[in-house]
Structure 1
Amino acid sequence: MPADYHTHTPLCMHADGTPEAYIDAAIAAGVTEYGITDHAPTGPVFFDDWRMRDSQLPEYIEWVERAKAHAGDKIPVRAGMECDWLPGCEEWIKQLRKRYSWDYLIGSVHYIQDGDHWDFDNPKWVGSRWDEANIEVVWTKYWDAYIAMADSGLFDILAHPDLIKKFGHRPDGDLRRFYEPVIDAIATSGAIIELNTAGWHKPCAEQYPHIEFLELARDGGIDLVISSDAHAPGEVARDFKKAKELARRAGYVETTLIKQGSRGYEAL
């Protein structure tokens, strides 16, 4: 199975399991490599309740080292973080990059500027703020943020490209008007995108991103990883067989391996 580079730890406060349990699950699933990428702190002060605190970064590194020790020579373990793209975050991300020998950093958009930092993928907004939202405007703000994240050049992998559809909200019309400018930005940045299988288990009932986005990415020469976004050991490499088939349908023939920022490839 392809490497699974997007997984979490209990330090994010919405995941469960020990390092040993995740490693055992990765070995059982037969993934090529296993990557640990919990939600990074957004700064030295409290921001939200679904990420590690800055003061917990040493504990996170210990978690990673414990996973590596348990894996031994049975499976390569890569270390990274999933970092939120927020206005003015660039210097903070650069600081985080220096605090451990990360193999890669993942960039994510979980917040858009809509009068505040709106955590649009939080289920608490279903039936309230989402019902009042102008979907065209919300999608525009999301993809503008995604383009800015790609343009920053700070991240090796860009996560769940169309997370904005999580609760099933899509504008009318041809969505390539959103996809194409983003594809151009990602291709220019050289970043990798992920086919994230968690979307199959959300209200949208669809992988992130849509296959049309994947096809455009493949045409744009953008590298791909397949990710589970696991928050429990039982989710490691979940739906990877299905994801491989979808990636091939989109025209991909290989996925990406990454170590200390350097890339290799493995056939699908």
Structure 2
Amino acid sequence: MTSDLHTHTPLCHHAEGTPQQYVEAALTAGLHQYGISDHAPHTPEPFDDWRMSMSDLPKYLDWIGTAREHAGDRLTIRAGMECDWLAGCEPHLDTLRSYHDWDYLIGSVHYLPGASGDRWDFDNPAHLSLWKDLGASELDDLWTNYWATYTGMVRAKRFEIHGHPDLIKKFAFAPAGDLRRFYEPTIEALVATGGAFEINTAGWHKPCAEQYPARGFLELAAQANIPIYINSDAHAPGEVARDFARAHTLATELGLTVRDSLPD
């Protein structure tokens, strides 16, 4: 079995393609499970301009239904969402979880507090200039904050998959020294909770030019026998299962346990 469980739809305002095109792309790639996991709504609305709104959820379920109808018995379609982990988000996550019988939810960290106390979607290219102005100590503090937030998300045990663990490196800004000091608490949390994370192949196509997460994180995960998924984070049909052969080769080299489908 081979799956791609982290993919998006045009409802997030920065993806393209039809359900039929994604299904055909998944079949061409030889997938047996195609998971739809667009950016979930967050409150208060409007929260930002790159996710669904609460009013879009019926359209989202229709999108999933159309994909299932087109796939028929050729491909298993799994229904999920990618949810943001922010302080105090648990009641909202409960609301989202109860809205539909989701097959899975992906947890991700896209936001950190900004310098003025507001929200900063740090992986947004519109804010790249903020990265360029960071000093060494500020960069270290930012990474510390990110990984503490990510570790807290894992320990909350809210998600079936934990998305792109080191998204913080997207624009290729990282502190000096051995970065395993940031990874180790998250690895410990994954072991303690039985959690799983993804190798996200989209990182190879970002300024960091490296899969999410880094090799050092993957080495620690292999030593700890943490299961992983391989996902594309596709925002267009042509990105479905992109670089999967490369990711599987890396996982095999490191001795990682790859889950090729969601557990029944």
Which TM-score bucket, shorter chain as reference?
A: over 0.9
Residues 1:69 and 2:73 are matched in the alignment: no
Alignment-mate amino acid for residue 41 of structure 1: P
Q: Give the conservation status (yes or no) of the 8 Å contact 2:222–2:257.
A: no
* Alpha-carbon offset, residue 32 of structure 1: 2.4
d(CA) in 2 for partners of 1:150, 1:175: 19
Cα distance in 1 for residues equivalent to 2:258 and 2:97: 27
- For residue 147 of structure 2, what is the amino acid of its counterpart? W
How big is each residue's C-alpha offset from its partner over 1:61-112, in whole Å with a ceiling of 9 and x where there is no partner?
Answer: 0100110111100011100000001111011111111111100000000001
What is the deviation of 1:256? 4.2
2:180 equivalent in structure 1: 176
TM-score (norm. length: structure 2): 0.95
- Give the residue type in structure 1 aligned to 2:18: T
Q: Is residue 117 of structure 1 aligned with residue 119 of structure 2? A: yes
Residue 188 of structure 1 pairs with residue 189 of structure 2 = no
CA RMSD between the two structures: 1.2
Q: What letter matches 2:70 in structure 1?
A: H
2:250 maps to: 246
Q: 1:255 aligns with which of 253, 259, 262?
A: 259
Change (3 A) 1:213 1:74: same
Question: Residue 223 of structure 1 contacts residue 256 of structure 1 at CA under 8 Å; is this kept in 2?
Answer: no
Equivalent residue, structure 1, for 2:24: 24
Q: Measure the CA separation in 1 of the matches of 2:192 and 2:133.
A: 35
Gaps (5+ residues) in structure 2?
Answer: none
Give the letter for the 2:125 counterpart.
P
Secondary structure of the residue aligned to 1:257 is: coil
3-state secondary structure, aligned to 1:141:
helix
1:34 and 1:77 in contact (8 A); partners too:
yes
- Large movers: runs of 4+ above 3 Å: none
State the partner residue of 1:159: 163
Give the alignment of 1:48-63 within 5 angstroms: 48-63=48-63
Q: Which string of whole-angstrom CA distances, capped at 9 and with x for unpartnered residues, describes residues 16-75 of structure 1?
A: 000000000000000121100000001252100000000110110010011011110001
The structure 2 residue matched to 1:214, chosen from 209, 218, 225, is 218
| Separation of aligned partners in 1, 2:126 and 2:167 | 16
| CA drift at 1:181 | 0.6
1-structure distance, mates of 2:95, 2:80? 14
What is the aligned-residue identity percentage?
A: 56
| 2:104 pairs with 1:104 | yes
Question: Partners in 2 of 1:70 and 1:157 — Cα distance?
Answer: 26
CA distance in 2, matches of 1:168, 1:44: 31
1:113/1:141 contact within 8 Å kept: no
Once residues 210 and 45 of structure 1 are traced to their aligned partners in structure 2, the CA distance between those partners, rounded to angstroms, is 34
Which residue number in structure 1 is paired with residue 152 of structure 2? 148
**Contact 2:37-2:79 at 8 Å conserved across structures:** yes
Distance between the aligned counterparts of 1:233 and 1:254, measured in 2? 23
8 Å CA contact retained: 1:94, 1:154: no
| Contact 2:109–2:149 (CA under 8 A) maintained in structure 1 | yes
- Name the aligned partner's letter for residue 67 of structure 1: A
Q: What is the CA-CA distance between 1:184 and the residue it aligns to?
A: 0.5
CA distance in 2, matches of 1:253, 1:37: 22
Q: Secondary structure at the match of 2:4?
A: coil
2:81 is aligned with what amino acid? M
In the alignment, the residues of structure 2 paired with residue 54 and residue 213 of structure 1 have an alpha-carbon distance, to the nearest angstrom, of 35
Structure 1 residues 251 and 42, CA, compared in 2 at 3 Å: closer, same or farther? same
Q: Structure 2 CA distance, aligned partners of 1:40 and 1:253?
A: 28
